[in-house]
Amino acid sequence: MKKNLFSILILIISINLICSGQISDPKLLKDQLKNELLTNLTHNILPFWSERMEDNTNGGFYGRIDSNNKVYPDEDKGGILNARILWTYSSAYRILKDTSYLRLATRSKEYILVHFIDKQYGGAYRSVKSNGEPSDTRKQIYTQSFFIYGLSEYYRVTGDKESLNCAKQIFELFEKYALDKQNGGYYEVFTRDWHRSHDLLIGEKSVNDEKTMNTHLHIMEAYTNLYRVWPDKRVGNELKNLVLLFLDKIIDARTSHLICFMDKNWNKTSEIDSYGHDIESSWLLNEAAGLLHDTALSERVKQMSIKISNAAGEGLQADGSMIYEKDLSSHRANNERSWWVQAETIVGYFNVFEMTGDEKYLEKSVNCWNYTKNHLVDNNAGGWFSSVSGSGVPGQGDKGGFWVCPYHNSRMCMEIIERLTGPKVF
């Protein structure tokens, strides 16, 4: 008994020393990280959404919950939010085998197929009203990509052919209407019946910003998941083309940062370094290339991923956090610590640690998690704050809404848990 108590005491002391930065044992760091993320995922993130956000009046999930946990039942329901909820609970069931997660994934899938999918023109609406009627019927490619992502994940865990067929149909619409067949890449926004428009929906400043890094990043992510469950040659070819677009067009060869906005010919139209997107792309590119089983491409992506992660490090702070972005034209940095940026930083640097074996990247990942659990996680009322200030004060942004969802943070937890449970399988 005394021996067991002594061993427990030594473990507690070691973990405390790790947290204080006095020692750095990789195995203890990884064990601590895995256990804390599993706890946060299963006792905070997933229960927060399942217990507070199910709409038992109109079906599906509520469209908004604010920073004080007040739910707005009459708020429109965003397509991005609902598609990400589908992905989250599908993936959670796949990894954790808890049937309560499958119930929520199925609830989400059924609501999406009934209310979001446009049965006349195909694709998914950008949003619906609280009662499920169409609200914003525009076909935004960014939004559509998450329906491919979520539906393919649901098929991955259930074999539900209706979901896979819907994901395939959206892929076909992308290739028919959104693909720039002359210059490559994809345009951004279309009317309900798939006529191109120039609406500015994700930060574009003018109609000259015709192609965005952000949209292409999530198309690549979606096609990666679709190709995983439907290894069609065309999907593989387009996925490879997307990886090459990042390597050749979207990543700035001089700085290794991503170019946020471009014209139709891929000329740079913005002066923003987005550190969160940098670090997110570093591991999503690696995942996409790994699935393609192209050795030369994988090696090229690996080297570029390391460069991107090092460039993103310009946004890392001494407290372990990552700031949002920097405007190069004004030299002004946005020092907000966003929930999703921290989540992607944790995964991104862990990914580089796995690729290189260099423990400094593991420490960056753990340090960012330590910051996140102390500042972004609401340990009193549940969920995560969407952002905190440079001094660590939570902002008034919603905990759940059109853009804020259980996706970046739950995916971060599940990525690390999977990687520490066994070797990464593409």
Residues 269-282 pLDDT 10s: 999 999 999 999 99
Q: What is the pLDDT of residue 17?
A: 47
The 8-class DSSP code of residue 314 comes to G
* CA angle, 79 then 140 then 117, to 5°: 50
- Per-residue model confidence (pLDDT) at position 424: 58
The segments of the chain whose pLDDT lies below 50 read 1-15, 17-18, 20-23
Q: What is the pLDDT of residues 322-356, one digit of tens each?
A: 999 999 999 999 999 999 999 999 999 999 999 99
pLDDT of residue 16: 54
H-helix or E-strand spanning residue 139: strand 139-140
Domain map (residue ranges) of the chain:
29-421
Query: What pLDDT is recorded for position 25?
Result: 85
Calpha distance 307→309 (Å, rounded): 6
Amino acid present at 58: N
What CATH code would you report for 29-421?
A: 1.50.10.10
Identify which of 41, 166, 168 has the alpha carbon closest to the alpha carbon of residue 111: 166
Burial of 421 (0-12, 13-18, 19+ CB in 10 A): exposed
The secondary structure of 346-393, three-state, reads HHHHHHHHHHHCCHHHHHHHHHHHHHHHHHCECCCCCCECCEECCCCC
